[in-house]
């Protein structure tokens, strides 16, 4: 961590009831971060930043004395723990070599949505487990991938909010590290994926499309676990670029591989709306009804945005039927969306009921 005085106290407080020691590696803070961490009960060590997240992780975990390690960033909070599932995960990691455990990460995005994904963050304290990668570092076991199991742990991540990205200048830092890594491994599909996603968040959509397309081409038949997210990001990139032909091909390729990925159908509905093509309007209900039929995807399988299989799909159907004059169906879908405390739907219900009274 570096200059995290706004976050570090809450991060440590969230894990303190569950752990026997808290290790913090500071990479050069100039604010009150280190003192706050020490006062919160953490053991604080120092290592100058050397442009490698993996090396910083490895230095940090070298100080651990307990049998299991849980990795948390300063802008993350432990949200919930299923103790029974956690105990099963720990038993499995004791019995079988090369196993580590996923945690669910719920990120508050720039648009105020909740994105869910999973990431390996809990693993045995053993030298065969270590991190690789200058940026977007990954845990490996004896130079190979780990076998992941569910941990029952969920955390909240604040770092995608616009203010956080701006404060830390994450865009430029990440792009610099990604390009440096790609100079050594120009065809690495994971680095290309992260490069494309970084350009997408930065709204450099042409660069994003180029990186993501190259990522898919390089991957070939060796489909990696993040390919579904590559397709989703590329699809939204084409929507921003209004490249409807390329979007259609991307969507069809993705659905062929991931027919149960709700976010793809929600993206399809979004594209139909954004295109503003009168001939495509009739397909909007089918897209969002498919979302409702599939429901919420498992965040252990796919990266997903909260509500695509429930309240957001209902809300979009409400908007469609309101605009096409079917107020009864519109009110129904708005009310279904309200069941999830979706504020936009609540406002819509009030508006329609007021319209009826008038």
Q: Look at strands 147-157 and 99-108 and give their pairing.
A: parallel
CATH 3.90.550.10 maps onto the chain at: 8-160
CATH 1.25.40.10: does it fit domain 165-357? yes
Computed from CA positions of residues 244, 249, 255, 261, in that sequence, does the dihedral angle turn out positive or negative?
negative
Enter the pTM of the model. 0.87
Radius of gyration from C-alpha coordinates of the chain: 22
**E strand segments, 82-146:** 99-108, 114-124, 129-132, 138-141, 144-145
3-state secondary structure of 30: coil
d(C-alpha 234, C-alpha 244), whole Å = 12
CATH 1.25.40.10 maps onto the chain at: 165-357
Half-sphere exposure of 315 (CA within 13 A, CB side): 20
Q: Concatenated DSSP letters for 168-226?
A: HTHHHHHHHHHHHHHHH-TT-HHHHHHHHHHHHHTT-HHHHHHHHHHHHHHHTTS--TT
Q: Provide the CATH topology of domain 8-160.
A: Spore Coat Polysaccharide Biosynthesis Protein SpsA; Chain A (3.90.550)
Q: First and final CA of the chain: distance in angstroms? A: 58
d(C-alpha 171, C-alpha 135), whole Å = 12
Helix (H) or strand (E) run with residue 43 in it: strand 43-46
Helices (H), 27-116: 33-39, 53-61, 83-95
**How would you write the pLDDT of the chain (358 residues) with one tens digit per residue?**
999 999 999 999 999 999 999 999 999 999 999 999 999 999 999 999 999 999 999 999 999 999 999 999 999 999 999 999 999 999 999 999 999 999 999 988 766 788 899 999 999 999 999 999 999 999 999 989 999 999 999 999 987 665 666 655 778 889 999 999 999 999 999 999 999 999 998 999 999 999 999 999 999 888 899 999 999 999 999 999 999 999 999 999 999 999 999 999 999 999 999 999 999 999 999 999 999 999 999 888 999 999 999 999 999 999 999 999 999 999 999 999 999 999 999 999 999 988 777 6
């Amino acid at each position: 961590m570096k200059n995290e005085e706004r976050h570090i106290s809450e991060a440590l407080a969230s894990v303190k009831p569950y752990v026997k020691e808290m290790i913090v590696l500071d990479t050069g803070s100039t604010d009150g971060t280190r003192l706050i961490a020490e006062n919160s009960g953490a053991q604080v060590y120092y290592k100058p930043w050397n442009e490698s997240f993996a090396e910083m992780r490895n230095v940090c975990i070298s100080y651990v004395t307990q049998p299991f390690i849980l990795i948390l960033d300063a802008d993350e909070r432990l949200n919930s723990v299923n103790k029974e599932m956690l105990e099963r995960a720990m038993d499995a990691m004791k019995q079988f070599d090369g196993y580590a455990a996923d945690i669910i990460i719920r990120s508050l995005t720039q648009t105020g949505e909740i994105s869910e994904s999973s990431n390996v963050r809990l693993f045995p304290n053993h030298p065969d487990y270590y991190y690789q990668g200058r940026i977007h570092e990954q845990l490996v076991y004896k130079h190979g991938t780990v076998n992941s199991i569910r941990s029952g742990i969920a955390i909240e991540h604040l770092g995608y909010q616009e203010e956080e990205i701006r404060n830390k200048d994450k865009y430029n830092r990440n792009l610099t590290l990604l390009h440096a890594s790609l100079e050594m491994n120009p065809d690495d599909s994971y680095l290309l994926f992260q490069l494309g996603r970084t350009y997408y968040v930065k709204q450099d959509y042409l660069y994003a499309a180029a990186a993501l397309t190259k990522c898919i081409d390089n991957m070939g038949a060796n489909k990696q676990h993040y390919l579904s997210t590559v397709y989703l990001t590329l699809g939204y990139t084409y929507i921003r670029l209004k490249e409807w032909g390329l979007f259609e091909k991307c969507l069809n390729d993705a659905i062929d591989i991931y027919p149960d990925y709700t976010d793809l159908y929600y993206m399809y509905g979004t594209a139909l709306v954004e295109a503003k093509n009168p001939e495509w309007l009739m397909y909007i209900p089918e897209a969002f009804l498919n979302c409702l039929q599939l429901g919420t995807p498992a965040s252990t399988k796919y990266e997903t945005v909260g509500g695509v299989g429930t309240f957001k799909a209902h809300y979009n159907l409400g908007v469609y039927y309101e605009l096409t004059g079917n107020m009864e169906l519109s009110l129904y879908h708005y009310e279904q969306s309200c069941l999830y405390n979706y504020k936009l739907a609540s406002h819509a219900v009030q508006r329609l009921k007021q319209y009826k009274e008038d």
